[in-house]
């Protein structure tokens, strides 16, 4: 009842399937995947290298703008439409309190930026015609 030809055909089929499996496993997707990954890495490196000079230029521009900024003085904020209520220095900054009309509020922030001062916090108390603007300031360039 043993049929050697069926046994040989079955064994040949198993060997053929095993060889196909091994060939499938050996045929990895690494070369195309690896090549695409390497190409993406080269593109990222090229982009990074193109951005680095821009970053360096921004740093130089920031250093130049800070070097040419005007010195901070609370008296500069005493102008038409704005009255200096108080200035309390603390460390590299302090607290500046102004009584101002609404139209003057944006220019206060521009003046502070021109003078190398960073606003850590602020509050605005509404009044009928004038408002009280309180600013916590820090010198951004060592002031």
Residue 19 covered by a domain: no
The pLDDT of residue 143: 44
Shared domain for 79 and 125, answered yes or no, is yes
Residue-wise pLDDT for 12-24, tens only, equals: 888 888 888 887 7
Last residue in a domain, options 68, 96, 118: 68
Q: Please count the structural domains in the chain.
A: 2
Shared domain for 81 and 133, answered yes or no, is yes
**How large a percentage of the chain has pLDDT more than 70?**
80
Shared domain for 43 and 88, answered yes or no, is no
The pLDDT of residue 95: 94
The pLDDT of residue 66: 53
Residue 55 covered by a domain: yes
Residue 17 covered by a domain: no
Q: How far apart are CA 16 and CA 53, in angstroms?
A: 59
The pLDDT of residue 64: 55
Last residue in a domain, options 68, 97, 131: 68
Domain assignment of residue 117, given as a range: 74-139
The pLDDT of residue 61: 58
Average pLDDT, stretch 66-87?
83
Residue 103 has pLDDT above 70, yes or no: yes
Residue 25 covered by a domain: no
């Amino acid at each position: 009842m043993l049929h050697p030809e069926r046994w040989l055909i079955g064994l040949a089929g198993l060997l053929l399937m095993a060889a196909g499996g091994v060939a499938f496993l050996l045929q990895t997707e690494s070369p195309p995947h690896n090549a695409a990954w390497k190409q993406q890495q080269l593109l990222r490196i090229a982009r990074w290298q193109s951005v680095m000079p821009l970053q360096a230029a921004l740093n130089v521009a920031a250093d130049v703008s800070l070097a040419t900024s005007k010195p901070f003085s609370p008296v500069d904020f005493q102008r038409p439409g704005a009255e200096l209520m108080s200035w309390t220095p603390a460390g590299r900054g302090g607290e500046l309190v102004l009584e101002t009309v609404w139209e003057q509020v944006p220019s206060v922030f521009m003046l502070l930026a021109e003078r190398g001062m960073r606003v850590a916090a602020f509050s605005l108390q509404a009044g009928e015609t004038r408002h009280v603007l309180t600013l916590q300031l820090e010198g951004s360039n060592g002031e």
